[in-house]
Amino acid sequence: MPRYLPIVNPSESHKRSGQPNAMPVLTSNYPAARAGESTLMTTPERVGALPTYTGRGVTIAFIDSGFYPHRDLKGRIKTYVDATTERITEPKKINTSIAYSWHGMMTSVIGCGDGATSGGLYKGVAHGAEVVLIKISSPRNWVKEEDILRGLEWVHRNHKRLNIRVVNLSVGGDYVSYDSQNALHIVIRRLVAEGVTVVAAAGNRPVNHLYPPASSAAAITVGGVDDNNSRDRADWRLYGHNYGMAYDGSIKPDIVAPARWIASPIMPGTSVAWEAFWVGPFLGTQPDHPVRELVKSGKAKPAITKLFGAQRTDEDLLTTLQAKAYQHKLIDAYHQHVDGTSVAAPIVSAVVAQLLEANPALSPANIKAVLLKTARRLDHQPADRQGAGVMDAANAVKTVSEKENP
């Protein structure tokens, strides 16, 4: 357990810490975390993305269980699509079912958020791209293959109208299929043939089979890498993702991307958000948070003690707060770290948007070839589980920006 600065009144705080208005210092449970500091790498840092490209002028469609109009996407949601039934609509207001909106909010903000909630820190690689948000969960809040198909078919009918160049699929089907005539495989082939790049998450089980849409030969199937929150490749390991073959016998995943320790927004309005609001400032990354005003006033300890049911001593209270920080994987009051190929896929989709910004004439085949050519294999990791290797965002974009055709 780390050492803490106790919750005290301002004058006592100054005496004990040497700094005015000091707060207790907690630590996050990601590798290399340091008390009172934000040492979690941002997504652009993880992939080495070039900051001069932001996906500007490119539209990415996210097909997911549900969405939330997060502040980090403000002004760039081109349209929201309710494809929960065959009667597909484009309502002006996003239907935010708390339980089923978090996943799509996570994927879209990780890929395209501008970091407004974090003071610009946790921005996505494609924070200049526009997004189309397509909710596909059924009225029973299920996501089955027929629901994924409904969303993809809508994109097929509307991609030209909305200039959709990339589709992100952080969802998986029901059954393993090696059938080239599987409905999901067919619609993805059609989209790719018409110039839309489709990116699909491989899945989060370390088993030798994939489910549609990840088993589509035409899609870019994304596995994961655990970079241990480090830029040293010696620390990197593969994530426990699905692998295997597509219906044409090609090896999947095609590429791997960061899938662990990824900064993601916390779903507003949830109990986690409420607890994070109180605990997050004690991680030391938000100097202007309202909870700090309570510390200055001397009212913080009774308020937080009552909220979390802690005992009377500082040590008991801080142990409780530290446990909450670990439980929710908190980074600060508004962000937590997440994992899975569901988050690796939008990171790749965001880099695809950078490629298209650099060279709008690129076809899906060009994009896939460039990503695979510039990826780097991980040593001492199974070759059949990493495809071409770890995506290298900077080299991929440099390749297409310096040559007319890759």
Q: How confident is the model at residue 318 (pLDDT cuts 50, 70, 90)?
A: confident
Q: Taking 70 as the threshold, does the pLDDT of residue 191 lie above it? A: yes
Question: Which tens digits make up the pLDDT trace of 80-120?
Answer: 999 999 999 999 999 777 768 999 999 999 999 999 999 99
- Give residue 314's pLDDT: 66
**Residues 301, 170 within the same domain:** no
**399 inside domain:** no
**Residues 195, 247 within the same domain:** yes
**47 inside domain:** no
**404 inside domain:** no
**Residues 234, 369 within the same domain:** yes
**Residues 213, 247 within the same domain:** yes
**Residues 228, 166 within the same domain:** yes
**142 inside domain:** yes
pLDDT > 70 fraction of the chain, expressed in percent and rounded: 91
Q: How confident is the model at residue 303 (pLDDT cuts 50, 70, 90)?
A: confident
**Residues 260, 271 within the same domain:** no
Q: Domain with 213 in it: what CATH number?
A: 3.40.50.200
- Give residue 311's pLDDT: 61
Host domain of residue 292: 10-30+267-333
Q: Taking 50 as the threshold, does the pLDDT of residue 5 lie above it? A: no
**Residues 323, 351 within the same domain:** no
- Give residue 48's pLDDT: 96
Cα–Cα distance, 253 to 214 (Å, whole number): 8
- Give residue 17's pLDDT: 39
**Residues 254, 232 within the same domain:** yes
**Residues 258, 273 within the same domain:** no
Show the tokens assigned to 212: 């549609």
Question: Which tens digits make up the pLDDT trace of 35-70?
Answer: 878 899 999 999 999 999 999 999 999 999 999 999
Cα–Cα distance, 35 to 260 (Å, whole number): 20
User: Among 68, 67, 87, 91, which residue's Cα sits nearest to residue 79?
Assistant: 91
Q: How confident is the model at residue 14 (pLDDT cuts 50, 70, 90)?
A: very low
Say if CB 222 and CB 388 are below 8 A apart. Answer: no
**Residues 201, 349 within the same domain:** yes
Q: Taking 70 as the threshold, does the pLDDT of residue 335 lie above it? A: yes
**80 inside domain:** yes
Listed residues 333, 352, 371: the one ending a domain: 333
Q: Taking 50 as the threshold, does the pLDDT of residue 156 lie above it? A: yes
Please state the pTM of the whole predicted model.
Answer: 0.92
Please spell the DSSP secondary structure of 188-203, one letter per residue.
HHHHHHTT-EEEEE--
Q: How confident is the model at residue 312 (pLDDT cuts 50, 70, 90)?
A: low
User: Among 156, 153, 66, 78, which residue's Cα sits nearest to residue 107?
Assistant: 66
**Residues 18, 61 within the same domain:** no
**Residues 320, 376 within the same domain:** no
Q: Taking 80 as the threshold, does the pLDDT of residue 27 lie above it? A: yes
- Give residue 22's pLDDT: 62
**138 inside domain:** yes
Question: Which tens digits make up the pLDDT trace of 360-372?
Answer: 999 999 999 999 9
Pairwise pLDDT comparison (198 vs 21), residue with the higher score = 198
For the ranges 11-20, 298-307, 391-400, the maximum mean pLDDT occurs at 391-400
Q: Work out whether strand 77-82 and strand 59-64 pair parallel, antiparallel, or are unpaired.
A: unpaired
User: Average of pLDDT values for 337-347?
Assistant: 98
Listed residues 292, 311, 333: the one ending a domain: 333
**271 inside domain:** yes
Cα–Cα distance, 261 to 338 (Å, whole number): 6
Type and span of the H or E element at 45: helix 43-47
User: Average of pLDDT values for 281-294?
Assistant: 80
Say if CB 168 and CB 107 are below 8 A apart. Answer: yes
Max intra-chain CA distance, the chain: 72
- Give residue 377's pLDDT: 97
- Give residue 96's pLDDT: 74
Helix, strand, or coil (residue 322): helix
- Give residue 320's pLDDT: 86
**2 inside domain:** no
Report the number of distinct structural domains present in the chain: 2
